[in-house]
Chains A and B, each alone.
Chain A
Amino acid sequence: MPNLAFDMAHLLAGSLVLVSFMLLYQDRLSSLLNVYALHALVLALSVAWQANLQNAPHLYVTATLALGFKAIIIPVALRQIIERLGIHREIETVVGIGPTMLAGMALVGLSMVVMLRVTAAAAPIARQDLAFALAVVLLGLLMMVTRRNAVGQVVGFMSLENGLILAATGARGMPLVVEISVTFSILIAFIVIGIFLFRIRERFDTVDISALDQARGEQR
């Protein structure tokens, strides 16, 4: 029953955008991480739905990856980091929450305009998913550039990447999706480890390598 299928996919993708907005709205790290977990969860659901829709079993791998790695492991790890590094809990924003939300609205609008007009020829599901995916990507970027905390920026990047996975799974029968999602998970792992190793408390910009020397166990 394609109609139901369509609605379902639409719903999930739309709710992903919604959760991205919630991400933008958060002002405390802990809650931010919770919402991100939710984000990943919704993604997992959407991917799973796509899997049975396109009856492409390999997509289930991606779904489980999203569920296990992004929804559980990463948030936990970040929580650890926050406690270890004693990062204070508020998220400093460059511009206030309000303007950020407005900008977010505009971005969603933009992605709708660009995509829905664009993909006349493509399949309806793909069209919707692409629109939402673009929205999620842009919102993620927005978050990266408006948050000052490293963790906030990481979360932004991860939500961006969720958008990509959404798009990839939305594209019918696209090969290499699993590989891509794996690669990205590794990438994110790198970033998180980097943050931990370099003791990046505030911004991405200053790297504190005093930790590394102990890590290498040799003094230069």
Chain B
Amino acid sequence: MALIRDLAAQFVEMVLVLVLAPGLVGLVRKTKARLTRRHGASVLQPYRDLSRLLRKEVVLAENASWLFRVAPYLIFAATWVAAALVPTFATGLLFGWSADLIAIIALLGSARFFLALAGMDVGTSFGGMGSSREVMIASLAEPAMLMTVFTLALIAGSTQLSTIAAFMNSPAVGLSVSLGLALFALIIVAIAENARIPVDNPSTHLELTMVHEAMVLEYSGRHLALIELSSALKLVLYVSLIACIFAPWGLAGAQAGAAVLLIGVSAYLAKLTAAGVLLAVFETTIAKMRVFRVPQFVGAALMLGLLGTLLRFVSGSF
């Protein structure tokens, strides 16, 4: 019985993130539009786009290989699994223990790996450029992410996300410098990984500036739909990650009742909305930076993460 219940919870979770992802993207776009005095498309526009993409035919470059066609499914699967392992509204996920935070990062890494390969498959200079910039940014973002993970793990004494979240929810956690550093680093990484301004601009196709869009330039139809969906999923993943670690309020416990779960869901929705709005505000207030300024930006995150870890190492008190 309990198993079935947990399975259900897990399933709901997986579906939930999947359903919410385009919505969040839509929300961000809408807010940005409003902030720039535009009317903007509806929040539901991303859903429409997806369904249209699914109905469109796929235009495949002549020398695209099987890898190019398999990649979207792999990317989507990896991202989805990763997203499913992050507690959204309840901690005690059935399979939460099957992969800890490090593994989640690695899953995202595999997704990126195949995306970059796909970008190089067709053999246009665009794809290559996108891939090379993507991996360059990732080569700094991933270690930064791991450093924040270290900090959290040292604070919570675990790399298990559920455990960390539970710990953060508990009164045991006080304010600490390294937590702040970790949060800061995590946000920077999130921005970089999700190709948001100032690192990358998701809504441009100007080759000089684009990174993510350049890789997926050759994709179309259902493949593109999967790619778009997985990048949306990634955004949700990061938001819920930050939420469950740094704003674990209202997170339902392991064996919580229906009421608590309901609270959890609503809290989660609130967090998502807030995050979306904040992101939109942030993106409208600053400008995209040159590609070769990005390393310094993300490198700062790495340094912050390292500093946080170091502080934890040198003495548990910070």
Do A and B touch, yes or no (CB under 8 Å, in the complex)?
no
